[in-house]
Amino acid sequence: MQTVSENACFGGTQGVYSHKSTACSCDMTFGLFLPEEAKDGPVPLLWYLSGLTCTHENAMTKAGAQAWAADHSIALVFPDTSPRGEGVADHEDYDLGQGAGFYVNATQKPWVPHFRMWDYIADELPALLTEKFAIDGDRQAITGHSMGGHGALTLAMNLPGRFRSVSAFSPICNPTGADWGRKQLAAYLGEDESLWERHDASIMMRKTGFDGPVLIDTGSSDQFIELLRPETLAEAIATRRQPATLRLQPGYDHSYFFVSSFIEDHVAFHAQALWS
């Protein structure tokens, strides 16, 4: 593992690190904020999964989450959204290829050699974090924005017991039911739609739900709301009687202005679960 940078931040350290990934067969980069309390022992961890076109850097520099994480003595990890580099497949469309890993393990050409973001987030990076840093692997929570909200919800519901809480900002709630999702799932996983279901938050909510608190915020003026389909997830939550808080925030769009406006709420929400 290589240290790219480390900066003092709200009494703790905001670092950026790179390492050779076995899952993705390339070098991967992630950001990690450690609060001051990590100097004395392991602290809980909140994952932040970013959306389409983002790297590890977007949320790390735009969301303003570190201030609130420091208040609650929580670490924050900002993984990249896809494999990158020479020899990694890409696409001319922004919503496929590098920057658009969709948090799945690809089974189709040309994606299969590198696009194994599910294994990277579920297995490889957690093991690295708990080995190299003062992270309490038994106290984890997860959030994300847009494609990252999709990843946060599906990982949380497919890995029971891993995360104590899950939240999302403007998540892609029903990718099997909208063009924005069907395109990527078909490209990465093939035409067998039964293989798509575990990567659809609305379907997984009906099937398994989540054993813990759920918080979801979407802006009423989100320019992608027809593709996000928040009403489908709301229906699944109601059908399952899943304890959850869903909020449609008036006037907010899909941007990081929206995320930064409500990140304090989300960090406090996860802190309550992580420290209980």
Rg (CA), the chain: 17
Of 185, 259, 188, which is closest to residue 217 (Cα–Cα)? 259
* Catalytic site residue from 50, 82, 146, 202: 146
3-state secondary structure of 219: strand
For the question of residue 199 being annotated catalytic, the response is no
CB 77 within 8 A of CB 71: no
Kindly list the distances between the CA atom of residue 102 and the CA atoms of 26, 28, 34, 199, 263, in Å, as whole numbers in the listed order: 17, 16, 26, 9, 22
For the question of residue 266 being annotated catalytic, the response is no
Q: What angle do CA 214, 167, 132 make, to 5 degrees?
A: 120
- Reported as type and span, the H/E element at residue 37 is none
For the question of residue 222 being annotated catalytic, the response is yes
Distance of alpha carbon 248 from the chain centroid? 20
* Catalytic site residue from 199, 200, 222, 266: 222
If you ran DSSP here, which 8-state letter would residue 121 be given? I
- Alpha carbon distance 76, 97 (integer Å): 26
Which residue is it, tokens 């309490």? 136
CB neighbours of 105 closer than 8 A, spacing ≥ 6?
115, 116, 117, 118, 119
* Catalytic site residue from 114, 254, 266, 270: 254
Catalytic positions? 146, 222, 254
